[in-house]
Amino acid sequence: MGAREASGTQSRTDRADFQETSDPALMAAADRTADVKLLSYAELYLLWERQQWQTQELDFSRDREDWEQRISEEERFQRLYGLSSFFIGEQKVAEELGPIMRAAPTEDQKIFLCTQIADEARHVRFFERFYREVGVLESDQLSEMLVETSAHLNDNFSRLFDEMLKQRTDRLSAEPEDTEALVEAVTLYHMVIEGMLALTGQHFIMDFNEREDTLPGFVAGFQKVARDEHRHVAFGSVFLREKAREDDRYKRAIQRTLEESLPVADGVLSPPWAESEDFELFGYSLAETREFAGTCLMRRLKVIGL
């Protein structure tokens, strides 16, 4: 990880409950060896049972004060890029996971993916509740909030979700036995969208709020979201490792999907208001953000066997 890697980020990824997920990105050993132990699908299910949480328990009263009084209008606008990408992203992944679950070849995989669908629904409710309690938007209804907040996204975001992910889940809906399409979908969903984009954004956003001492209710909930994401990525890692060992055809499918999607995912890291690559988002440069995302991805790919 980068020299300026935030101490907050480091202490979070060292947390026992994050480490428990067996996401390879959290293991320094994955820099040296591919031979690290990943949880099985059944173990990941049991971990899900132990890691439950409730959006209704979160207290956003300080967050509302911060949003209204301590965060300037310009900063609110800048923060809305990250918030909107997550809010809409959670809603889209919740909807697209059904075909992936149905196409998964074993019962243990399907059961885990059912728990993930429940998690993604909870993540949507988390954002909805934060937006409503803090008064981020004019709209108060979930469907209207999603439309209103989507104005803050960039074009790469819709290419990644509405074109690249949707093409693959549509294919799986029509042909659930197409394992190569399933490998592509899991690569895009679990490795690129969740592993590279979401977890990178989450760590920098939490770190920023902790340093600025803002939005404590949001940070408390977002930590639970991040822990869930590490568990989801751990599923993707064990699944892709299994498939890569099974057949070179699947290895090539993983590589192909990464080559196609990484430039688009990289474009999602730049907000639409950035006029060049020389901007800071949540106190970090684009180069620092890329370095963090790249290290996490390399560790996972090594463990998968690529």
For binding to Fe ion (CB under 5 A), which residues are involved? 90, 120, 123, 194, 229, 232
Nearer Cβ to Fe ion, position 181 or 191? 191
Nearer Cβ to Fe ion, position 206 or 288? 206
d(CA 209, CA 245): 41
3-state SS assignment for residue 281 = strand
Q: Residue 284: beta bridge partners?
A: 281
- Residue 232: CB minimum distance to Fe ion, A: 4
Mention every residue, 6+ apart, whose C-beta is less than 8 A from residue 41: 106, 108, 109, 111, 112, 235, 238
Nearer Cβ to Fe ion, position 207 or 229? 229
**Nearest C-alpha neighbor of 304 from the set 36, 70, 11:** 36
Nearer Cβ to Fe ion, position 123 or 243? 123
Mention every residue, 6+ apart, whose C-beta is less than 8 A from residue 59: 217
Nearer Cβ to Fe ion, position 217 or 221? 221
d(CA 134, CA 132): 6
- Residue 123: CB minimum distance to Fe ion, A: 4
The length of the chain is: 306
d(CA 53, CA 220): 11
- Residue 247: CB minimum distance to Fe ion, A: 26
Nearer Cβ to Fe ion, position 198 or 288? 198
d(CA 153, CA 162): 13
- Residue 195: CB minimum distance to Fe ion, A: 10
Q: Is the dihedral of CA 128, 130, 132, 137 positive or negative?
A: negative
Q: Give CA separation, 14 vs 21, 22, 53, 152, 219, in Å.
A: 11, 12, 20, 33, 17
- Residue 193: CB minimum distance to Fe ion, A: 8
- Residue 68: CB minimum distance to Fe ion, A: 27
Nearer Cβ to Fe ion, position 130 or 251? 130
d(CA 228, CA 18): 9
d(CA 304, CA 193): 17
Nearer Cβ to Fe ion, position 202 or 257? 202
- Residue 93: CB minimum distance to Fe ion, A: 6
- Residue 160: CB minimum distance to Fe ion, A: 15
